[in-house]
Each structure stands twice: as structure tokens, then as C-alpha cells.
A and B are shown apart, each in its own frame.
Chain A
């Protein structure tokens, strides 16, 4: 059983079909990178997998539990109790962090586990401090997002997602809003997570990073999966579209 099964999903915005029959399976402990040019549907896959977007066709299954299924545009969701549990299986790190500006770093991380998931306060705080230490932010727990750099904000956002102990963590271009120096510090943190065998699905434009960290790389092209395999298989495939795409990068 895969941790996540995306089965034949399709998604259109108006007349434009963004996802054309996408299937992706992710196993526990796997790190999957999704690459491809802007508009190829990478982000939309994550937004569908995390229920931020509806799907037109196909199904999304976590741990064998169907979160949502669509047939000819008719959506069937899991019951609301099941949905809440399924919702706890995944976390998402946004491109622009989406931290809560009126809440301190500590509150950003602990509010959901305590208020929403009714966990023990002391336990949550202890875990949050450990996470902040791991993120190199031990001294920032009382700071507000506006007092932090972009890289620090993104690390708080990662800690916030991890505080819910998700089974899989999605990253939506986590470094696209950052300058090269801050990008490096965020990528270092994500690499650190890889060592903990946290399952991750990462949409990224950092090709070297994708090559180094991933168990599997998916190359998206015009709403379809053009290539899928180990980093070596994909990057050394000689695929014309990929070569063209990568060529744009080295320029």
C-alpha cells in the first residue's frame, strides 16, 4: 500500500486543461521531486493532493483511504470525520510561507496542535522547541514573522507543518521567493529532514537539489508526466523536452 496514490487526476481551469491524467504513487520514506517549466502543472498537483483545489476526474488516496474521488466532474469526498483524519496525514509548505502575521513564531507552530488537534500543551511546546532548534531558530520563538528574514520565515513554516507530525510533507517551490543565500539555508534544512526519512514531495526549480536529494524525479510537461525515474534515469535520459528545459536553466 502506498502512502499516497494519485490516480488519473484531471484538472481544468476554464478551457485550459492543466492536468491531463496524472498518476503518482508515493511510498513511505520516499522523496519525490517534481520539476518542469512554469505552467506545466506542478503546483496544481500539490494543490489537488492537499484539497486546496478540486479535481475533475480521478482519485486521491492516503494510506488506503480515499480522500476524494471524481467521476465526470462529480466529486465524492470522504465523510467529514474521515476527512479530518486524512487531513492530518499531509502538510504543505507554501512558496510564500503563509505564516500568521499576528502570531509569534511559537504560536504559529503550536496553535493548531493545541486548538485544533487538542493535544497536550506542554508536550506540544516541548516538541515545538525541539523543532525550532532543528531549524536553527531556537532564539526566535517569541519573534513575529515580520521580524524574520524570508529564509527564517520558511523554516518556521516547515516547523509549523512538521508540528502536526504529517506522514507526508509537500513543498511548493519552497525557495522560489528567496535569494540564493536564503535558498541555501532552506535547502539545507530540507536535506536534514531527508536524513530523518520523512516522506516528502517537493516541487522545485533547484535542479541540483532535486538530483541530490530525490529517490525519484518526475518531469512534468504540459500537464502530463513526461519522465519519471531515479534522478540519474531522468536527468541523463537525453529526452529532448527535458534537455530544452534544463538548457534554459544553465543560461
Chain B
């Protein structure tokens, strides 16, 4: 097999990696905010439940969670999980990352001084207006570095879907490597991950810089 063919096959797998990454991000970033609201809820049962959820998400391996999301419906209800793998992966990754993002948002929101809320109240802002116009923009700036960290981890964590035999870049690399008895595809996959993360880090840094107009 020529190097070019190998790279083309790897790129195909890379496409899957990118799709899982983007979908997880698009779902988990807002979902994390929802989880934060649940955790901050004044309804004790809600906040307690959300706390347990966050604790489990952070306290068990994502790989195990993916296995449970995918095989769970079959073992529990004998459901046909034939076409369900991709959905299970996106649910598993999103729900896991939302828990991390929720905690990042919490640290950001709790670091906003009480005076900001009081000034907004005096000026007549409703609770929702205060959150959207005053608090959230400041929180985004504060949490940016932590979010960047998490996003970079997500790029690498997409390879965990290998555990449910989903074919993405790492799976392709391992297949080719075994079949052709060469280490090259594994190294090439590493280079792809690395370049992707360099780009992600660069983009996040640009956003951070753009938010640097005040401190």
C-alpha cells in the first residue's frame, strides 16, 4: 500500500474524528450551562441530583461511559442497537463534557463580584437581563483558558470511541498498521491530532486576545 493511499484512508478516519469533536462541542457547551443552572438551582432535589450526575461523569472513565451508553439499551431492554452507535457516542461524549463545562462555568460565574449584580439591579435590569448582558460576557472571558484546555482534551478523547469499534482515525491507523506491519500510520495519526490541536489552540487564543480589550 502506498503512503498516499494510507494517508487518504487516515484522512477519511480523521473526518469522523472532526465530526465527533464538533458535534460534541456544539452540544456540550450550551448543555454545560443548563447543567450549571441545575446545580445552582434553589430546588434542593434538582441541585442534589445534578451534583451526583457531575460526580459520576467526572469520577468514571469516559471509555466505560461510552460502553454503557452503547450496549446499555441492548443489555437492559434487548433493544436493537444496530444503527445506534454514532448517536450513543455523541450522547456519551456530550453528556460527559457538559459536566466538566458546567463546573468551569460555575467557577467563572462565582468569581463575578456581588457588586455587579447590585449595580444591575439598581439600574433596573431583570435577573435574565443581568445574566445575559452583564454577567455572561464577563464569565466567557474568565473561563476561556479553562475551556481551551477542555476542548484540546476533547480532540484526543474522540479516540476513545475506538472502544465501541467506531471507525475513526485511530482505528484506521491501527488497522493499516497491523495489516501492513508498519508504524507509519500510527505516527501519521499522531501528527494529525497534533496539527488539529495546534489549530484549535490558535483559534482559542485569538478569541482570548479579542476579549482582552479590558481587564
Which residues of A does B touch, CB under 8 Å? 50-52, 84, 87-88, 90-92, 94, 96, 98-102, 111-112, 115-117, 144-146, 160-161, 164
Contact = CB atoms under 8 A, between A and B. Distances in A.
Contacts of B214: 101-102, 144-146
A233 B213 CA distance: 51
Contacts of B26: none
A101 B119 CA distance: 12
B119 A94 contact: yes
B133 A94 contact: no
Contacts, number: 55
B145 to A, nearest CB: 17
B116 A115 contact: no
Interface of B: 113, 115-116, 118-119, 121-126, 129, 133-134, 137-138, 141, 213-215
Given A102-B141, A115-B129, A91 B122 contact: yes
Given A94-B115, A98-B118, A145-B214, A116 B137 contact: no
Would you call the interface of chain B mostly helix, strand, loop, or mixed?
helix
Given A94-B115, A96-B115, A101-B214, A116 B122 contact: no
B65 to A, nearest CB: 37
Given A111-B133, A144-B214, A146-B215, A116 B125 contact: yes
A50 B118 CA distance: 10
Contacts of B116: 98, 100
A227 B175 CA distance: 88
A112 to B, nearest CB: 4
Contact of A160 (B123, B125, B141): B123
Contacts of B126: 116
